[in-house]
Amino acid sequence: MTFAELIAPLKATERHGNLNVEVSDLTDDSRLVKTGSVFVAVKGGRADGHAFVRQAVAAGASALVLQERWPSGTESGRRGGESGPPVPMVRVPDSRRSLGLLASRLHRDPSSRLTLIGVTGTNGKTTVTYLCKAVLEAAGRRVGVIGTVAYQIGSERLHASHTTPGAVELQALLARMVGTGLDSAVMEVSSHALALDRTVGCEFDVAVYTNLTQDHLDFHTDMEDYFKAKLRLFTSLTPVGNKTRPKRVIVNVDDARGHHVCGASRVPVWTYSIHKRSDIQAEDVRLSLEGTGFTAVTPFGRFGVESRLVGEHNVYNILAAIAVGLHEQLSPDTIRQGIESVVNVPGRFERVEAGQDFTVVVDYAHTEDALARLLATAQALKTGRIITVFGCGGDRDRGKRPRMGRVAAQQSDLVILTSDNPRSEDPMAIIGEVEAGLRGALDPTRVRYEVIADRRLAIEAAIREAKRGDMVLIAGKGHEDYQIIGANRVHFDDREVAREALEKRIAKRK
């Protein structure tokens, strides 16, 4: 492909050099430039790619896409002292947005050859994507997944660098899915990705809204800014595009912001709910530690649903997947089969079993709302005490720390405050901010708490404390198999640590 062919969709304001040069690669990281690369200089929050343009040229970049003007002055390598870029270059109004369009074009628009389903919201994204994958696969579809836990391409499972990867990596992943023979992809779409235009160049067929609660206010200025980022997924979904098949937005209207999403949509909407009237609704909900059952009321009739997933929050996740399945014209029987096939989602109310007479659950809940939902589920199902182990991540939204402490104090019998991923912050300082909220809501006649900063020791203490019928909730990290302390990333898996503690306890009793 020539540089001229690659940049054809862009509204370039300046063009320099021979644009018919052949190009084979695209990057916004000067360290990854090689011969044949197009280097796109993106203005980032921490660094400006324009500062690395010369390094990119020196590394062999064949062409440049800039947002700023080329620096004035004579460049070495130009004949006769001519001033200007030493390689072909175009200037565009927004290089970040251009990056996604170029990546899509370089990979021959892979989203146009897939059924692409995007899921956004504060909580539930991962579970909804797993359920959608299972429902579509029950119909014989070949489905890839891009999300927090992993990137799945057929039988291949890749480490997830971000919930939604950068534009270049994202388009390469979609292209690999097409090349592997997949026909569908389900993607978690984060607010960061939407705000940073990572999904530009993707044409979605379905967009799902789960909910919005406080999170990521270290990145977004406030909740309104956070919501506006989420909303971009829905306002960008248009009836007319490269695809001719019908598109749809699917919205949880039990969430306070749901009606705003419905009003902003430019394509047909289906709503889902438990408590409000909607297009797809759950009735006769039955919850237990063994799973969930309810009657789905849909535009295509009523049918029963059974799932191994636990908790009311998973009823919402299942309803979203039902809506996706119905939009894809799948039968209720096929949808039920797919839902029933999902035994668990990694790190989402994942039980750890070693023959003990109490329940141990590992969950990714790392926001106030997610922790509240987890504890509400535990309250509904408990036969003994609730022992909650959790902490908050460092270098992230500090505002949620006391809120999470308050929720834990209100719905637990014993709270053990510990470290999560402290990153560059002092773990005890983070715990202190959580503790402030906890102490303000604590009823010392009913609830007690401990501080054990070492996460392994905290989990072990909770399991030693547990008695028959109790429920130990280990929240915050879920599927993660690492802990970030300072600049170090060390192996740490809550599930492994909990199982080791259970086995140690059981061995002592023999």
Query: What pLDDT is recorded for position 81?
Result: 43
Query: What is the C-alpha to C-alpha distance for residues 131 and 117, in angstroms, rounded to an integer?
Result: 12
Q: Which CATH superfamily is 350-509 part of? A: Mur ligase, C-terminal domain (3.90.190.20)
How many C-beta atoms lie closer than 10 Å to residue 5's C-beta?
A: 13
Residue 415: strand, helix, or coil: strand
With 60 as the cut, is the pLDDT of residue 297 above it?
yes
Strands 89-91 and 14-16: antiparallel
Range with lowest mean pLDDT among 238-242, 354-358, 461-465? 238-242
What does the pLDDT look like over 457-503, one tens digit per residue? 999 999 999 999 999 999 999 999 999 999 999 999 999 999 999 99
Arithmetic mean of pLDDT, 311-329: 97
Whether the per-residue pLDDT at 455 is higher than 60: the answer is yes
Strand intervals (E) in 268-365: 269-273, 280-288, 291-298, 301-307, 350-351, 359-363
For residue 128, which of 224, 219, 207 has the smallest C-alpha distance?
207
88 — pLDDT class (breaks 50, 70, 90): very high
At 233, is the pLDDT very low, low, confident or very high (cuts 50, 70, 90)? very high
Q: Do domains 3-103 and 350-509 have the same CATH topology?
A: no
Q: Give the per-residue pLDDT at 139.
A: 98
Q: What is the pLDDT of residue 75?
A: 45
Query: Is pLDDT of 430 > 50?
Result: yes
- Is 257's pLDDT higher than 80? yes
Which superfamily is assigned to 3-103 in CATH? MurE/MurF, N-terminal domain (3.40.1390.10)
Is the CATH number 3.40.1190.10 carried by domain 107-340? yes
**pLDDT for res 507:** 87
For the ranges 72-86, 106-120, 308-322, the lowest mean pLDDT is seen at: 72-86
Domain ranges (residues) in the chain: 3-103, 107-340, 350-509
Question: In this model, does residue 392 exceed pLDDT 70?
Answer: yes
The percent of residues above 70 in pLDDT, for the chain, comes to 97
The pLDDT of residue 46 is 82
Q: What tens digit of pLDDT does each residue of 11-32 get?
A: 999 999 999 999 999 999 999 9
Q: Decide: 131 and 319 in contact? Cβ < 8 Å.
A: no
Q: Under the phi-then-psi rule, with left for phi > 0, alpha for psi from -120 to 50, and beta for the rest, what region is 109?
A: left
Q: Where are the alpha helices (DSSP H) in 184-311?
A: 191-195, 223-235, 258-264
- Contact partners, residue 371, CB within 8 Å, separation at least 6: 365, 390, 404, 407, 408, 475
Q: Which tens digit of pLDDT belongs to each residue from 166-184?
A: 999 999 999 999 999 999 9
Q: Which two tokens stand for residue 277?
A: 């009237």
Beta-strand relationship, 359-363 and 471-475: parallel
pLDDT tens sequence across 339-349: 999 999 999 99
- Give the pLDDT band (50/70/90) at residue 140: very high
